[in-house]
Structure formats: C-alpha cells, structure tokens
C-alpha cells in the first residue's frame, strides 16, 4: 500500500478498514440493506472526510513545503472562498483525493479531527456525538472566525461551548457577523437534500429516539453543505448550472431555508438575554444593505434564495418588542417593501402554509409598528401619515401577510359568475387627472391589485381566512388618515405618494366609505362639468342632475319609465347627482326627498303581492322569485336603485341573504350559501350528505326536484337528463347536492339576477366599490347597521336656536327617547333622518341637530330629513313632550317631512 492509500485509510472508521475508502459512496447507497448502526457510522465517516477536505482547502496542513495541490499550505495553491471550498471538498471526497497529515505546528481543527479518527473504534463513533466532539474542538474554535454561515448543529455546538465557559461573547460575535451579512444569512439554515425512498426506510428507526435523531442531523450536514455550495456558486457565477438546478427544485411556495430549524434556534437563543441584543444590532446593520441590494442590484432575479433572508428574520418572535420598533423593524420593513412582485408572491404563498397563530404573530408585528409610529407622531393635514416611511413600508409588508391569510384560508376560486354579454356603457366623465390638467394614465375599469393578479386569487375567493379580516384593520391609523388627500394619491397614482386605499384591508368600513364618497362626488362633478361643456359647444339643454319627477301613487311606473329611458339613451346620466321631485309637493331635494323616494320604491318592489321576491318568515330575508311575471326591466330597476343608493350615500331597508352580495361581486352561490338563504333546504341536504345508511334504499330520491309557483302548482326540474330515472346514491349524493344548490341559487333565477346585476353595474361599474369592499361591507353600505346605539347619537348631537345639552327640555327629550322600545326608536330615526338604519360606523357617525321651534305649543315636532334636523318646540313638561313626539313619529309618513 502506498503512502497515499495509507492516508486515505487513516481517516476511515475501523468498520470500513476492509473496504477501500473510495468505495464509501457505494456502501452508503446500499445502507438500506445494512443495520441502522452501520449505516449511521458510515454517514458519520462521510461527513468526517468532507470536513477534513474542507479544512485542508481553507486552512492547509501547516507544512510550508506541502506538495499536495489540494492543500492550502501548498505554495502553488490558489486561494478560494469558503463556499467554493465547500463545493471542492465534495468533489475531492467523491474522487478519493489525497489528504495531508496535519503538520505538528498546525493548531487547527484539522488536527482535532485527525486525533479523533486515530483513537480507535470507540472514539471514532463519537465523531457524530456532539458533546465529545465539541470538547475536542473547543480549544481550536474559540473565535469561530471562519464561520460565515450557520446551521442548527453549529449553533448548538457554539451554544454548548459558551455555556460550559459561561462566556457567550463568541456566540454573540458569530450572530453579529452572520445575521448582519446578506450572504451569510442567505446561506444559513438550508434544508437538507431530500432522501430517496430507500434512504428514508433506513432512517425510520432513528426517529424513534431523540438522540439518534440528533445524530442523523449531524450525518446529513454533508448534504446540507452540498446545497449551500450549489446556491453560493450560482451567486458567485462559478457554477451557474448547479445553482439553477437547485433553484428549479423548489416549488412556487417553497424556499431552501429550513424554517423549523430556524424556529428551534430562535427558541433557544432568544431565551438568553445576552444573545438577544445581537439579533437587534445585526438587523440594524443588515437592513440598509438589503434595501440597497434590492433597489439597485436586482439581486432577487439573480438569486431567488435571497428570499431566505426575509424568512429567517421574520421568524424572530421578538420583532414586535419595543426595542425593535424604534429603529430595527422600520429599517427592515423598508427593505422588505422593495422586494419585486414575484418575490412578494412567493413569500405570500409560503406563509400561506403557516398556522393561524404564526400568521397572527406576523400580522401583530407589523400592526405594532404602525400603531407605535401613529401614536408617537402628530399627524395632521400638513404632516400626513402617508409620508411616514415606516408606516407605509409596514403596510406594504402587511399586505403580503394579508394575501397569505387569504391563500391559507378556505378558498373557492372556481364558482364565478359569467360576465355580462353586453358590456355596460362607459360614462363620458372627466377623470380627476383630466380635471387637474393631466392626461389619463390608465384605461377605465375597476382597479386590481398587482399582487392579487400575480397570485391568481381574490379576497372574494376566500370563504374563511386563517385569521379574521378584522385583525388587519388598524384603528389608530384610520383615526389620523386624511382621506381626502389619500383619495387624491389613490386616483392620481403618483409613485412618490403612497395611498392607503391601495391596501384597503387596513381601513375600516367608515374610512373606505369616505373614500367611496369622494370618488362618487368627483364623478358627479365630472358629469356636471361635461354637461355644461356639451351645452355650450353643441347647444344641448343644460341638465347637470339626474332628475326624477314621480307621483306617489305611481312611483314604480314613473321611476321605471324614466330610468329605462336614461339607461338606453345615456347611461352616464345615472352617475349624476340624484334630484327627486314628488309631483304636487313643494320641497328642495337636499338629500331628504331622495331618502324618502328610495324608501317608497323599496317598499313597493319588495311587496310580496307584486311577486318579484319571495319572503322567508323564518330568516326575514327576500329572494328572487323564479316564476315572477314581472319584466326584466323591473329587476334592472331595483339594481339601479341599489347602485344609486350607494352612489348617493343613502341607506335602504333591504333584507337580502349574503349570497346576493357575493353574486354581485362575481361569485356564484354554492351549497354552503343555502345555510343563509334557504336554511331548511340546507339542513335537509346536509343530512343527506351525512347519512350513514343506504341513501338510495332509505330516501328514494332522484335527480328530479320539484318547486311550487305563485299559485301553488308543482314545477318539476331535472338536475340531470332523465333525472327522474337516476336515483341518488351514496356515491353520487355530493353531485346531487351541488347541482341542487346550483339550480336554486343560480340557474332558477338566472334571468332575474342578470337583469338586477346589470342595473347595479350601470351605476357602479367605474367605482372602486369591488376593489375596496368585501360582500359583508357592501351589505353594510346599502342597508346600514342594524345596531342602534342611541347613547352614541346623544353624544354627537348638536343644538341650535337657543338649546344646549344642559337645557331641561333636552334632558327630558333624551330620557324619553331612551325609554322608547326598539320599534319606536326606529320610527324616531325614520322621522328625523328618513331611514330607520344607522349609517356605516353606527349612530355616532350621524350628525343630528335639535333646533328650537318656538315656545310651548300644541304643534307637533317637525324635521328636515335632508339635514337630519329635528325642530322641537319648548314644551312645558315631559309628559306633553312624550305625547307630541310619539304622535309625530307614528303618523309622519308623507307628512311633516321636508
């Protein structure tokens, strides 16, 4: 045996002495045929050899006259960085290259490894035993200066060494160096290469024992080193093919970092106060470099593994602590917000696999920063919160978590309503850019979030998110947001001004409604202006408003004829400000007359005697009548009315199930929607799905269903061709239930709903309504809040004409109102404001005025519903006040309302 062969055998474990070291690869491949202990020993030997080659390439043997071309001590050796050395070490191991004996003067880790291998079988088996290995390494690795990236094993090794000495400064220095380095952090905590089925079988026995599991991690570190080196070579350009292959192995929602290992490391290290500060300081140093990389160097497109950095930092459970909120977290959020769209999408996909608690932790981290910055600064019309980099960056980061929350929830991306065959005509409105003298930048149509498009998912697709959507709303931010200016930034879309309307999840319904109000008013102003221009240029009649003149006794006919004419001739007129006039009645429509008009139209159309809608006594909800005799125009009218109510900021007393609003937003009704709209049918179908017996024999139902028309006659419908001959069985019952729901919620009312939706879109097609609001918020916009808090109304009410909140009659008035029952309170609200619902945000958002209307008298109180003003005479006592007020609100419809 020559000297080279002797050196090769010296490092092999005794169990492998009979086999040439060059055959270790083959023996590892055949590990599934051996006992687990032998397999473990051979893996440890492989790991040991690779580490020896690595130290030989980076440190050398210490002999200045060394002739080994693969040794750093050789005079002709070309120095390489640690990543390249890791790759080369693997190559040398595979070809069984020459290994040097460490020179006696060499005091490095290589000598420690050699001593271990030379001590015999028992000591050699300890090469995978962490404690003994660390004691041997301790004298040589106190500074860990050559450690440029971390693995879980290396962290535990250093932690144990520091614990024995009770000196954590080496660990602090390592964390400071690695966690402040983009390259170091990107390379750290990589996943091990996936095992083959045969390898997994041989490893199963090890999972039963915790110590054996630890040893397996050590044995697998060689393959982890291989992945590290491949990724690094793609970064340095030394072996781009290897790097690309490593990247392509990852799925669209996968990263190469071992998240579970990172969590275990953090749980160990963050418990140590001495170590915790190192993470904070490292993040402060790291973040500006990351921001620079992403802004100027396009680093993510060159190395997708760069995303590992953000994954690792976000696993730090202390990010929301006060120490981070001041400097570190704002800097990191600013860097993170610079990620390109594909990287944001990949983060969202990856985080969507996290648990609800983990998503909530990340949500709270960004929310804490936003709240801290909002509270610690004084934002106003001059100092806008939109200009605060920390708040805007944290909001952009929160958007990633929001979409992860959507993706990780209960998704339904299939059942979508078909688009209208005929597109809704666009209005001729001037956009805000044009009004400001700028050219139009985007085509008309609803705005879509770019990240939403990249992910291929919408908020409406999510039936149930991982955590409630409400947890993403930041109330302190809503309180200081100047919505008029934010809306301007949203509409103009300048790059240097951030609009929170681009992240509607963080806004509450009140704030979003204000943004919608500004959009509607701008559009109304645009229509008025263009009308004036047309009248001047073309000599057309000046008609800047949507005027409706109706008779009380024929309100539906008059409104239907007028609105149908407008819809056919110029749909853009529907976007003008509504102006209603009742024939034969005096009164200027400042909003109150419109409120009454809407209320009367709704009462008429939803009258069960007309037959347009059916009413369910149990749910108190309306549904489209599939056998209605009314024309499609009637359903188009109610759709227009709903759109106009939103557009003109009016509340309607409409009671639809939630599926109607989901359908308006573009989703079809499915089986689960029946729970809200048809609860009895839902329960019956649910029992069919859950029935444990034989459905065909016990229930004897087929794919033919029956309904009754307006006159009680049965109508049969086949869910499948010849449905009466197809029995429902245990195998096809899911199909039966799905088709039953499809018929009830979609097919049977298709004609009526399409007309209804078309009318709604005539008014709202260019509005940011879909972009800003979820279905439940659309219902709130149209119907208002059912929760009537009269205490909040009292606190916000203003007084005029000599009254104040301390006036004795005002005190009597509120005592009287608070003593009313629920129905009387609704009548009072109807009398004073024109509707019995609270606006979005509750009665506290309703600015009511109580004005003095003369001295004591027998006259009844009156109201200006358009201004929410109650005219109250100064009655002599509380009893008279109560009697007069009750009579006024009880007999007020069509009387006493101006």
Catalytic positions are: 866
How far apart are the C-alpha atoms of 623 and 643, rounded to whole Å? 18
Neighbours of 412 (CB within 10 A): 17
Do 840 and 780 form a contact (C-beta atoms < 8 A)? yes
Do 21 and 12 form a contact (C-beta atoms < 8 A)? yes
Helix (H) or strand (E) holding 616: strand 613-616
Residue 864 phi/psi, 5° resolution?
-105, 95
Helix (H) or strand (E) holding 292: helix 273-296
Do 62 and 102 form a contact (C-beta atoms < 8 A)? yes
DSSP H helices, 126-272, are: 130-137, 152-165, 169-179, 182-187, 197-204, 210-236, 240-248, 259-269
Do 571 and 577 form a contact (C-beta atoms < 8 A)? no
| Length reported for the chain | 898
Tokens at residue 689, please?
Answer: 């799905």
What is the separation of C-alpha 599 from the centre of its chain, rounded to a whole number of angstroms? 37
How far apart are the C-alpha atoms of 37 and 41, rounded to whole Å? 6
Tokens at residue 153, please?
Answer: 């094993």
CA atoms within 13 A on the CB side of 652: 28
Tokens at residue 349, please?
Answer: 């996909």
Identify the DSSP state of 588: -
Do 556 and 601 form a contact (C-beta atoms < 8 A)? yes
Identify the DSSP state of 220: H
Cα 479-495-525 angle, rounded to 5 deg: 65
Q: DSSP labels for 678-710?
A: -HHHHHHHHHHHH--S-HHHHH--BSEEEEE-T
Do 184 and 232 form a contact (C-beta atoms < 8 A)? no
How far apart are the C-alpha atoms of 810 and 874, rounded to whole Å? 9
């Amino acid at each position: 045996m020559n000297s080279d062969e002797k050196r090769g055998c010296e490092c092999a474990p005794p169990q492998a002495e009979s086999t040439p070291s060059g055959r270790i690869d083959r023996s590892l491949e055949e590990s599934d045929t051996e006992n687990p202990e032998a397999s473990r020993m051979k893996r440890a030997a492989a790991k040991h050899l690779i580490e020896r080659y690595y130290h030989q390439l980076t440190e050398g043997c210490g002999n200045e006259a060394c002739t080994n071309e693969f040794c750093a001590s050789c005079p002709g050796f070309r120095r390489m960085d640690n990543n390249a050395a890791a790759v080369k070490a693997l190559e040398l191991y595979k070809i069984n290259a020459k290994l040097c004996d460490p020179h006696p003067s060499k005091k490095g880790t290589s000598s420690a490894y050699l001593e271990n291998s030379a001590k015999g079988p028992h000591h050699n088996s300890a090469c995978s035993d962490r404690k003994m290995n660390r004691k041997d390494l301790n004298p040589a690795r106190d500074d860990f200066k050559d450690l440029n990236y971390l693995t879980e094993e290396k962290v535990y090794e250093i932690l144990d060494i520091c614990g024995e000495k009770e000196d954590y400064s080496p660990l602090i220095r390592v964390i400071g160096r690695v966690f402040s380095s983009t390259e170091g952090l990107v390379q750290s905590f990589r996943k091990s290469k996936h095992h083959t089925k045969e390898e997994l079988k041989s490893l199963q026995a090890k999972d039963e024992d915790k110590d054996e599991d630890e040893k397996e991690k050590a044995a697998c570190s060689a393959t982890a080193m291989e992945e590290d080196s491949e990724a690094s070579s793609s970064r340095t350009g030394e072996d781009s093919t290897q790097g690309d292959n490593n990247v392509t192995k990852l799925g669209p929602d996968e990263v190469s970092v071992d998240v579970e290992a990172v969590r275990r490391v953090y749980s160990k290290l963050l418990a140590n106060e001495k170590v915790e500060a190192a993470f904070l300081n490292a993040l402060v140093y790291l973040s500006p470099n990351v921001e620079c990389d992403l802004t100027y160097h396009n680093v993510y497109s060159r190395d997708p593994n760069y995303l590992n950095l953000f994954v690792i930092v976000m696993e730090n459970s202390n990010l929301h602590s006060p120490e981070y909120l001041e400097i570190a977290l704002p800097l990191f959020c600013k860097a993170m917000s610079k990620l390109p769209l594909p990287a944001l999408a990949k983060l969202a996909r990856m985080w969507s696999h996290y648990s609800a608690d983990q998503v909530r932790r990340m949500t709270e981290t960004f929310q804490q920063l936003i709240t801290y910055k909002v509270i610690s600064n004084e934002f106003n019309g001059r100092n806008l919160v939109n200009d605060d980099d920390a708040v805007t960056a944290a909001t952009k980061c929160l958007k990633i978590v929001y979409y992860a929350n959507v993706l990780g929830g209960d998704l339904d991306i299939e059942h979508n309503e078909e688009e209208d065959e005929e597109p809704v005509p666009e209005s001729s409105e001037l956009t805000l850019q044009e009004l400001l003298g700028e050219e139009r930048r985007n085509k008309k149509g609803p705005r879509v979030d770019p990240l939403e498009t990249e992910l291929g998912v919408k908020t409406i697709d999510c039936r149930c998110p991982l955590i409630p959507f409400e947890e993403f709303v930041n109330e302190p931010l809503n309180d200081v947001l100047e919505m008029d200016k934010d809306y301007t930034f949203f509409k103009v879309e300048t790059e240097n001004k951030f609009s929170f309307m681009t992240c509607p999840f963080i806004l509450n319904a009140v704030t979003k409604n204000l943004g919608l109000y500004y959009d509607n008013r701008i559009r109304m102003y645009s229509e008025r202006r263009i009308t004036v221009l047309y009248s001047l240029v073309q000599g057309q009649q000046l008609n800047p408003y949507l005027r409706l003149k109706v008779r009380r006794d024929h309100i539906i006919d008059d409104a239907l004829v007028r609105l149908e004419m407008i819809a056919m001739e110029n749909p853009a007129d529907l976007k003008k400000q509504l102006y209603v006039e009742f024939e034969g009645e005096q009164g200027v429509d400042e909003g109150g007359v419109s409120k009454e008009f809407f209320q009367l139209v709704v009462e008429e159309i939803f009258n069960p005697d007309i037959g347009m809608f059916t009413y369910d006594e149990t749910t108190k909800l309306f549904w489209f009548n599939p056998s209605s005799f009314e024309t499609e125009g009637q359903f188009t009218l109610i759709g227009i009315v709903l759109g106009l109510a939103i557009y003109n900021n009016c509340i309607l007393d409409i009671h639809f199930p939630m599926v109607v609003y989901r359908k308006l937003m573009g989703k079809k009704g499915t089986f689960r929607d029946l729970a809200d709209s048809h609860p009895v049918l839902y329960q019956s179908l649910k029992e069919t799905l859950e029935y444990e017996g034989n459905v065909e024999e016990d229930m004897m139902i087929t794919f033919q269903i029956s309904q009754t028309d307006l006159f009680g006659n049965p109508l049969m419908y086949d869910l499948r061709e010849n449905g009466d001959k197809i029995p429902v069985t245990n195998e096809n019952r899911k199909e039966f239930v799905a088709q039953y729901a499809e018929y009830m919620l979609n097919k049977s009312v298709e004609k009526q709903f399409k007309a209804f939706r078309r009318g709604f879109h005539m008014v709202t097609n260019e509005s940011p309504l879909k972009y800003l609001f979820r279905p439940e918020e659309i219902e709130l916009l149209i119907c208002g809040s059912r929760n009537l808090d009269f205490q909040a109304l009292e606190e916000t009410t203003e007084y005029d004409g000599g009254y104040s909140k301390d006036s004795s009659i005002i005190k009597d008035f509120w005592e009287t109102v608070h003593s009313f029952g629920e129905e009387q309170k609704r009548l009072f609200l109807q009398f004073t404001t024109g509707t019995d619902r609270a606006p979005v945000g509750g009665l506290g958002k309703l600015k009511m005025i109580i004005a003095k209307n003369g001295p004591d008298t027998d006259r009844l109180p009156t109201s200006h519903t358009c201004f929410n003003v109650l005219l109250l005479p100064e009655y002599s006592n509380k009893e008279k006040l109560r009697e007069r007020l009750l009579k006024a609100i009880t007999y007020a419809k069509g009387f006493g309302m101006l």
